[in-house]
Amino acid sequence: MANFTLDDVRQRTYKARDAWWTVLLVDPLAARLVKFTANRTRITPNQLTVGALILGLGAGACFAAASWPWLLAGAVLYHLSFTLDCMDGKIARLKGTGSVFGAWLDYIFDRVRVLACAIALMAGQYAATGNVAYVWTALGVVFLDMLRYMDALEIYKVRQQMRATLIQTRQEAETLEAAVLRADGTMPDARDVGADLRSAEGALGADTEADEERVVGDDDRANAALQAGFYKRFPWYIRIRNVLLRGRIRPHLISGIEFQMGVFIVAPVIAAIVPGAIIPVVCVSAAGMLAFELFIIYKFWLSSRDYSRSLAKLNDKIDGYRAQLPAEDLEHHTGTAVVGSSG
């Protein structure tokens, strides 16, 4: 059997920044369970993923019963389900047993759990009260969860494309620079290429989803700066962000995780005490998540503008290098960089 310590678990599996719900209410328990599971059992990450789904479906069954004891039981089971869901990734990182299939399974089962619990919770309340608003609330919860993850995946994909374009542009600029130097031994403004490239790369900022996957021991966590344009407009944000990051809490305070917990833990608990509280609590959670999602979209928009301007400068320099090359040398350097729209 292995002999992982609690420090091993924290250093190898904690994300550099995470949702405050996870940091404060899940990680303290999950880390100890991960240590025990990794050292004393042969349980795999995929088995934990399946277990998380089973507990999530159990929470849904409790929600469907609708009475206050079952609402409380469902909230507890959902929190335990989420804890197991956090453990599977930690075990994978700790033991190095992660897989593409495991990541897919985790994503799909998360969506199934949200769908099942949303339907069960609201259907139970509709059956108990006859209030059709619960049906619309269920649809709203499923739609917002889908929207949140679709938006995150699309932003991640676009950022990857932007980075690929920067790499291609840098390679072409460096090749042309070397060719011009060989041709005449001079290079007007050549020293500016690196500065413009760094400016363009900095404009991208840290990718939200990718940064969440970096663990505490990762040397890249120092690169968590946000885009330059956003910093210029809101310098006070840096101070708040740094305070939160010292506690590993990401500035995106109401993300999909907090939204889920608001719907499936906070709302049932409050409804067990105050009947009819589910819809108001869900609405507050939804409003908070939408506000922070718009915040992220705004930052991404600023990032794309800075990126396009910086990349345009690089392409202008590339055109200048080409103009300095003799025709016979230019034939060997025909790469073309792609410039995104400035929006």
DSSP states of 227-277: PHHHHHH-THHHHHHHHHHHTTB-S--S-HHHHHHIIIIIHHHHHHHSTT-
Q: What is the pLDDT of residues 147-189, one digit of tens each?
A: 888 888 888 888 888 888 877 887 787 788 777 777 766 544 5
Q: What is the pLDDT of residues 230-277, one digit of tens each?
A: 667 777 777 888 888 889 998 888 999 999 999 999 999 999 999 999
Of the candidates 326, 322, 327, which has an alpha carbon nearest to the alpha carbon of residue 176?
322
> Could you tell me the pLDDT band of residue 208, with boundaries at 50, 70 and 90?
very low
> What are the structure tokens assigned to 300, written together?
């991404």
Task: State residue 165's pLDDT score.
Answer: 85
Task: State residue 171's pLDDT score.
Answer: 79
Q: What is the pLDDT of residues 58-75, one digit of tens each?
A: 999 999 999 999 999 999
Q: Sign of dihedral through CA atoms 122, 127, 130, 132?
A: positive
Task: State residue 225's pLDDT score.
Answer: 35
How does the average pLDDT of the chain come out, rounded? 83
Determine contact, residues 343/308, Cβ cutoff 8 Å. Answer: yes
Determine contact, residues 293/330, Cβ cutoff 8 Å. Answer: no
CA distance linking residue 140 with residue 144, whole number of Å:
6
Go through 84-104 and write b for each residue having 16 or more CB atoms within 10 A of its CB, e for each that does not: bbbbbbbbbbbbeebeeebee
Burial group, residue 55, by CB count within 10 angstroms (0-12, 13-18, 19+): buried
